[in-house]
Every structure is written in structure tokens, then in C-alpha cells.
Chains A and B, each alone.
Chain A
Amino acid sequence: MNAFTAFIIVPLAAAFLLGLFGSRSSWGSRWASLFTLGALVALGVWELAHPFEPQVVILGGWKPPFGISLYVDSTLLFFVVLLQAAMLLALWFQHETGTKRPVSFDVLALVLSAAVAGILLTQDLFNLFVFLEIAGAAAVALAAPAQGSPRGAIRYWLFSSVTSLAMLLGIAMLYSAAGTLNLVDLGLRWNGLAVPLRWAAGVMIFLGFLVKMEVAPFHVWAPSTYHAASSSAAFMLSGVVATAGALGLWKFFSLVVRAGHSAVPMAGTFSFSQALFGIGAFSLLLSALAMLHQKNVKKMLAFSTVSFMGLVLMAIALGTPLAVKASLFLLAANILGKGLLFWVAGRMAADHRTADAETWRLAENKSPSLAFAWFLGAAAVIGLPLLPGFWGKLHFIGAAMEMGRWGKAGIAVLIVATVAEAVALLRVGHNLWERPTTQEGENPAALACRFTPAYGLGILAFAAGILWLGLSPGWAARSFSGTQESFAGEGTAPVVLTTLESFAQQAKPQIVEKR
């Protein structure tokens, strides 16, 4: 077994075993799930510490384009590790709050971990769909509150199911015309397909990704779902599922629609690039403005995710090497920054039994550490200098400047949205910091925040990640540069060449004849 397949197989196997035996001991189930994810993170860090060439991992002996293969490079592995670490911390927080959770929560979290690793690594379009479906089903189940109304989760299921079926229809249309499901092989045949078919299949496949990414206007389920879900489950939706959806969309867009070639996307006739850029700008602006009117912090963070994913979509749509780098930095900033914000929001919501920021303002005995953690998470998302969001937004502006009117309009939208988002997030931070000033006869909420060592460890982990990526972005920038060259470099992309080599290993004459 290749070590990279462990990121998919091990969590699935652990989930299966926990499903069978986990109910015997909730303590054992808790630590088994944490140990599994911790071991995978350690394995990933060990692999990343030893430089390796991008490679195609062939599964089951059926070589591509006929069989399923994985494509692994340092950036994709970095995101697999980051997402597994995010899942580990989300589970840690869930257990740390002390609330009794069924074993199914651990099982679903492990299934979700396996699914997002599959989304990031697979090179097969149908396999990508399967992993998206598994991630979607696990996310819906995680989002359903232990007590209370499941309406938010039902709405999420409905949106996810309908768009996934549209995606499957699009995949079937592509397969009937191209006769292959391998992303690289599809990309090589994309320009030979009829234009109406490309549009119909492309729109339906993008729909599936956009709902997972939580981009407006496909986000209407998100605020109520985040509100009803536990904070760790909401973070899994925001930091893990949305990121996996974005990276899945990026792979489909760069390998199939752009056929692995770098080009100027904003010129010429109306294209997918322009459509995605427009949707991204709409999502970025609309949701940032919606944050200003939101007092419920969990709903505010939902809108923040929708807004941030809009910016990621704009960067993906630009498609240039610099824009690819921007989108990768932005995704890392979203995972780390949102992690910190949800940790604080979750603790405050648990202690005060409300997510209303105004009630938090009136709380006594506030913890400065919580306020500091909130400000750091907010700064990472907003893009304060020398933090991950800053590098992402800086690269985005650099890429957009090369794109004429479209790019400049995008920069204007980004500035307005960043100001709105900063006002909303910093206002909540102020509520966490400020001592309550009450009117006569009004009593501040006499509640203190529990700040346990285990809770502080999670805060420290996210803060360390933010500071590492922000203050020393060199390693990530080098890794992302390698991937931007692989997926969006000049000429035929290296990812295509590497995959074609793996095709040729099987039976070159037959492949040539098939083409």
C-alpha cells in the first residue's frame, strides 16, 4: 500500500471499526478517533519533511485512464494534512466541551476526513463525485444538532442532494461524449466536445462544487445550519468541507475546463472563467455586507465563509499562476482563522447559552485570552499584514491587476468587502474585550468563561499555525509555486505530462490507437 493512500483508507477503516465496537466505550472511541487523526497528521508532516516529486498513484492495478489514480504533490499533501489537523482539533474541541456526544460523531468525523483526502487526491471525475457525496452526507449528519430542530440539516441535505444529482448528470454527459473519466484525459478531449455540451455539463458539475463551497447564491442553507449545529460541526462545514469543495472545483477547472494550460481568461467571449469570477464577486460583496447586520455570531461566521469562498472562487477563475497561489493562501487562512474564531464562538456560546454578540458584551469576568484569540483569527481572515490572509489578498491583487477592467472591478469589490468584514468581526472582538457598561437597573450577565488547559492547547495550535504561515510564508510559497507551475504553468502543465507518463506505462500502442 502506498503511504498516500493511508489518508483515505485508514480513517475509513477506523470509522468502520468504531461503528462496530465504539459503543462499548465512549472514552475509547474518543481517543481512538483522536489517535487516528493524530497519526495521520504525523505521517503527513513526516512525508512533507522529505521532499518528493509529484507522482501518480495507481490503485488496484488498473492504470489510468481506465482505472482510478491519485495525484499527489507537496501542496495537495499540505492541504490534506491541514484538513486532517483541523478535523483533529474540531474533535478535540467537541470532546473538551464535555458535552456527551454519540459515538457516531467520531465515526462521521473520520468518514469526513477520508472523503476530503479523497477529493484532494483523486484524478477520476466519478471518484471525485463519490468522495464529494460521502463528504456531503457526513457533513449533513454532523450538522444535525443532538437536540433541537434538524431543519438546517434538512435544507443542507436538499441543496447538496439536488446539486450532486445535477453534477452526476453532467458527468454522465461528459462520459458519453468523451469516453473517459480521468480528469487529465478529459481535459485533453475537452476542446473537441460540442460547445453546448461543454456548457451544459460544465454548469451542472460546477453547481455541485459551488454548494459544497458555500458560495452565494447557493448558500441560503448555511446561516441556519451553522446556528443549529455545534461549533465544531460548523467549523467542519466552514473550514473543511468548503475547502475541499474549493480544491475539487479548482482541479476540475484547471485540469478539464482549462485543460491544464495557462491562458488569459478574462478576454474574448463569455467563458466559465468570467461566470465564476462574477459569482465569486457577488458572493464576496453580498455576504460581507450581510455580516454587518448580523448579531448572531455563528450566522456571522457563516456569512464570513460565504464571502471568503467568493474571493477564493474569483482567484480560481483568474487561473494565472499568481492567482492559484493566492487561492491556496486564502484557503489556508480560512482554515486557520475560522478555526480560531469558531473555538472562541463555541466557548462563548457554551458558557452563555447564546450566540448573540450583544449578550457577550454584557458578560462579566471576560477572558483577555479569548479576546486576543478572536482578534488573531479575525486578523488572519481580514488579511492584516504578515498574516496568511494578507499573502492571499496581496497575490490576488497582483493577479487581478493583470486582468484589465474585470480585475480592477474585482479589487474594488475586495476592498469594500474587506472593510465590511473587518467592521463586523472587530465589533464582536470589542464586545469580548470591553468591560460591560450597564444602564441603571440592568445587570450584566454574571457568567465567567471556562478556560481550561485543554482548551488553551487548541487555541495555541491554531495561533501557531497562523503565525507560522503568516510570518514565514517561504515554505508554503515554494510549495504552492510548484503546484501553480504544475496546474497553471506555461504550455502543457506538468501534471498532465506526469499523468500521460502513467498512461504510457500500461500499453502505449493501445493508448495511441485509442486517441
Chain B
Amino acid sequence: MNVVTVVTLSALSLFAIGLYGIWSSRNVLRWILAVGLMETGVNVFLVLTGWRPGAAVPIITRAFDTAQPTPFVDPVPSALVLTSIVIGLGTTTLAAALAVRHALHHGTLECGAEPEETEVQE
């Protein structure tokens, strides 16, 4: 089993574990953690898409030999992962704020299957 297969299986396992976590629980905090696991799995997979065996870090230095360039790792997935992490931070923070509001309003983090009727907003 080579590196690519191991990392791919790890990434997909993280995604699947997160999905199971959401399916098996009604707790908002666990949902946030499960989504975080899924996100990590997707990010690992994204990094993997840029990896090349034996390739160097994609940074051109003074020592770089333009006559005989060495293969680089694809830098685009790294940039995508950075963006994905920032988006994940934002949505996780939003979810945490909603979880706090839920706990204050209902006194619990358990989110029922059917939301109760609330007073109508204008």
C-alpha cells in the first residue's frame, strides 16, 4: 500500500466518521466537531491532489537551477486548503455562536428533530 492510498483512505475515513457523527447525534456541539472532522478529511485530500513523488517545495530560491529545473509540488491545492481553512474557521465560529444561543434559549445543546414553533418574526 503506497503513500497515496494510505492518505486517500485516511482522508475519506475522516469524512465518513464525521458524516456518521452527524447522523448518530442530535447534539449541536457534536455536530460542530463532526463537521470539523469532515473538513479536515477534505483538506487532507486537497493537499494530496498537489503532491508529486520526489517533487520539491514550490519556492524559487537563488540556488534554483533554471537550466535543470526540478519538479515542483503543485502549489494550487495548498492555496485552496488555506482558503478552505479560513472558511471553516468562519463557519465554525458562526455555528458555535448559534450553539450558545440554542443553549441559552432551550437550556440544552440537544437539537430536536422537529424545531418547535417559535413566535413569528415580522
Contact = CB atoms under 8 A, between A and B. Distances in A.
A406 interface: no
A149 B116 contact: yes
Contacts of B39: 165
Contact of A168 (B35, B46, B94, B98): B46
Given A154-B99, A175-B76, A149 B122 contact: no
A237 interface: no
Contacts of A175: 49, 76-77, 80
Interface stretch (B53-61, B62-70, B105-113): B105-113
B73 interface: no
Nearest to B99: A154
Nearest to A134: B87
B7 interface: no
Contact of A133 (B22, B91, B101): B91
B35 A172 contact: no
A158 B31 contact: yes
Nearest to A223: B115
Interface stretch (A303-311, A346-354, A376-384, A416-424): A346-354
A157 B91 contact: yes
B5 interface: no
A169 interface: yes
A168 B47 CA distance: 12
Contacts of B80: 126, 172, 175
A148 B106 CA distance: 9
Given A99-B122, A133-B87, A224 B115 contact: yes
For chain A, which range describes its interface: under 10, 10 to 19, 20 to 34, or 35 or more residues?
35 or more
Contacts of B19: 162
A140 B94 contact: yes
B122 A162 contact: no
A137 B89 CA distance: 11
A9 interface: no
Contacts, number: 116
Contacts of A146: 121
B2 interface: no
Given A130-B83, A172-B49, A157 B98 contact: yes
B98 A172 contact: no
B95 interface: yes
B121 A231 contact: yes
Interface string A48-59: 000000000000
A246 interface: no
A152 interface: yes
Interface string A164-189: 01001100100110000100000000
B45 A169 contact: yes
B72 to A, nearest CB: 14
A149 B35 contact: no
Interface in A146-162: 146-155, 157-158, 161-162
Interface in B80-104: 80, 83-84, 87, 90-91, 94-95, 98-99, 101-102
A475 to B, nearest CB: 35
A502 interface: no
Contacts of A149: 102, 105-106, 115-116, 118
Given A130-B87, A145-B118, A149-B116, A154 B42 contact: no
A107 interface: no
Given A126-B80, A154-B99, A176-B49, A355 B115 contact: no
Interface in B14-64: 15, 19, 22, 28, 31, 35, 38-39, 42, 45-46, 48-49
A155 B120 contact: no
B42 A298 contact: no
A206 to B, nearest CB: 17
Interface string A259-289: 0000000000000000000000000000000
Contact of B102 (A154, A165, A230): A154
Most chain B beta carbons < 10 A, residue from A153, A172, A347: A172
A66 to B, nearest CB: 9
B3 to A, nearest CB: 15
Given A145-B121, A162-B38, A151 B22 contact: no
Contact of A169 (B42, B83, B105, B120): B42
A158 B35 contact: yes
A198 B77 CA distance: 20
Contacts of B48: 176
A150 B90 contact: no
A97 interface: yes
Contacts of A137: 87, 90-91, 94
Contact of A230 (B45, B76, B122): B122
B94 A152 contact: no
Contacts of B84: 168
Nearest to B91: A137
A125 B27 CA distance: 33
A488 interface: no
A366 interface: no
Contact of A151 (B38, B76, B91, B102): B102
Contacts of A147: 119
Contact of A346 (B87, B114, B122): B122
5 contacts: A148-B105, A175-B80, A228-B115, A349-B120, A353-B119
3 tightest Cβ-Cβ pairs between the two chains A and B: A350-B122, A151-B115, A176-B49
Given A126-B83, A130-B83, 12 more contacts: A137-B87, A145-B118, A148-B121, A150-B105, A158-B31, A161-B95, A162-B38, A165-B35, A172-B77, A181-B76, A346-B122, A349-B122
